[in-house]
Structure 1
Amino acid sequence: MTAQRRDWRGFRRGFALILLGAGFCTPAWAGTNERVVTDRYTGLAIGGFDPVAYFTDADAQAGLPDYELSEDGAVWRFRNEGNRAEFAKHPEVYGPQFGGYDPLDMARGVAIAGNPRFWLVVGQRLYLFGREDTRDAFAAAPARFLPEARKQWPIVQQTMAR
């Protein structure tokens, strides 16, 4: 690789880190269907992670292309056929709350896509967070944030592109 290409690649990588640190990267890759954060290029919901694995394995695990399900315009991936079947029966249980948007930001009336690596299961529901600090704040007092997030969710949904 030439020195010029190395410099350019380093610039792009540094630029992406600056954007990520500033919180701008998430909306750039995230599109939305009616409710769920999806990757605008692949259509994958929650970054291709298996939503059922958060409950069954208590871990964020990438789904496999062999076990996909299309639901409401989003493509969901799963680790196995059992997880796919369970999600198909109960998407309202296993799908992330607020469409995968960060509940703390939602409580402020802002749609910031959650990162599938920052997650919590609270009250048998999955929540994704844009940052580790918002996950930690939510974990300390979910009842403090959920009422306002639930109130804001329908309002924010109406402002989203379809």
Structure 2
Amino acid sequence: MTAMMRQIGKQILTLLGTGLVVCGLFGAPAGAASLVTTIVSDPLTGVAIDGYDPITYFTESEPQPGSPDNEYYWGGVPWYFVSEANRDVFMRAPEVYAPQYGGHCLMSLARGYLSDGKPRLYVLERMKLYLFYSAANREAFLISKDDAIARAAENWPELAKDLSGPPADSP
């Protein structure tokens, strides 16, 4: 129930944000900036991957929420970490630990469109972190990993053109 309420809240904020930009209340002309960003982040806080520590995907059995006390800005958004040590590891090689394609759903990319990946729906494959929009998308990936990875890599450059923010490196 909480996840559904959060999704509804995101949709409402997106609609409000679109309306404010269109009305010119932010002083920017309509269409000046995309609401879909290169790195998936929480629309309320702006924090990448809902505040989960990206290092913990690789070191723990479950991803762990980070803390604003251990924050690092990369790719135009803040990232949270459970410790200074994890933050320092990320700082040395963010492209290794950050979700691929900025956290956009791998299967959506493979199918030719963008959707935000959910930090709790993930797979580590070939030491890379991939996020998925739904459990069904994750299951589809597990059936055809190589094909999905190849198609996502093919589609990413074109889809990424319309994103706002610094470019997320493709894998």
Give the TM-score band, short-chain normalised.
0.7 to 0.9
1:84 and 2:69 aligned: no
Q: How does 1:6-155 map to 2 (within 5 A)?
A: 17=4, 32-33=36-37, 35-155=38-158
Q: How many residues end up aligned between the 2 structures?
A: 145
SS in 1 for 2:129: strand
- Secondary structure of the corresponding residue to residue 41 of structure 2: strand
CA shift for structure 1 position 29: 6.4
Please tell me the residue identity of whatever aligns with 1:106: L
Which ranges of 4 or more aligned residues in structure 1 deviate by more than 2 Å?
16-20, 24-33
Query: Residues of 1 paired with 2:10 and 2:146: CA distance?
Result: 26
Structure 1: give runs of 5+ residues left out of the alignment: 1-12
RMSD (Å) for aligned C-alpha atoms: 2.5
Cα-to-partner distance string for 1:45-67 (whole Å, 9 max, x where unaligned): 01100101000113121111111
Superposed CA offset, 1:64-117 (max 9, x none): 111110112110001111111110001010000011011110012211000000
Mark the CA change 1:132 to 1:29 in structure 2 (over 3 Å): closer, same or farther. farther
Q: From the superposition, tell whether residues 72 and 28 of structure 1 become closer, same or farther in structure 2 (CA, over 3 Å).
A: farther
Displacement of 1:37 in angstroms is 0.7
Report how far residue 146 of structure 1 moved: 0.7
Q: Find the counterpart in structure 2 of residue 7 from structure 1.
A: none
Maintained 8 Å contact 2:103/2:117: yes
CA distance in 2 between counterparts of 1:40 and 1:19 reads 10
Q: Distance in 2 between matches of 1:126 and 1:97?
A: 6
Normalising by structure 1, we get a TM-score of: 0.79
* Identity in percent: 34
- Using the size of structure 2 for normalisation, the TM-score is 0.75
Which is richer in strand?
1
